[in-house]
Amino acid sequence: MSHGTQTDAAATRAATVRRIAEQHASARGPLMPALHGVVAELGHIDPLDVPVVADVLNLSVAEVHGVVSFYTDFRTRPAPAHTVHLCRAESCQALGSQPLYEDTVRRFAGREDVEVDHVFCFGNCPLGPSGTVDGRLHGRLTPERITRLTQDWQP
């Protein structure tokens, strides 16, 4: 990608973020809806979006940054193509979720397109270790099952 194209893309993104923030500027408590609007339309909140939102809403960059980093559901990087989210709460821990999580992290280390993360309880405790693979819930997960469920994921 040429430098010019990157700059154009950044300018287009900034204009989009500005438009979204302006749509919420007159609301009471506009920051959360504006940030959700950016995630809904652009997939994540880039660090460069923060000053744009702050400017439109008359907030400090620190305030906006604080909210973005406090709420982990505001993605600050593009969404990966694939996700494996494993439960590490108590029942699943008792059924071996910790080594499964560590094995899965190692397996996908260095894969930018795969996000391995942990969550605390899917409410699927008797069937642990539980986890989602690309958003779909599975129980009784093992390394072998994860291999099968992810076998089509090309790097």
Using CB under 6 A, list all residues that contact ligand FES: 87, 89-92, 121-125, 128, 130
In whole angstroms, the minimum distance from the beta carbon of 114 to ligand FES comes to: 21
In whole angstroms, the minimum distance from the beta carbon of 121 to ligand FES comes to: 4
- Output 57 or 92, the one with its CB closest to ligand FES: 92
- Output 21 or 84, the one with its CB closest to ligand FES: 84
- The Cα–Cα gap between 147 and 22 comes to 46
Q: ∠ CA(60), CA(61), CA(64), 5° rounding?
A: 90
Q: What does the block give as tokens for 148?
A: 């099968």
In whole angstroms, the minimum distance from the beta carbon of 126 to ligand FES comes to: 8
DSSP annotation of 119 reads: E
- The Cα–Cα gap between 133 and 138 comes to 7
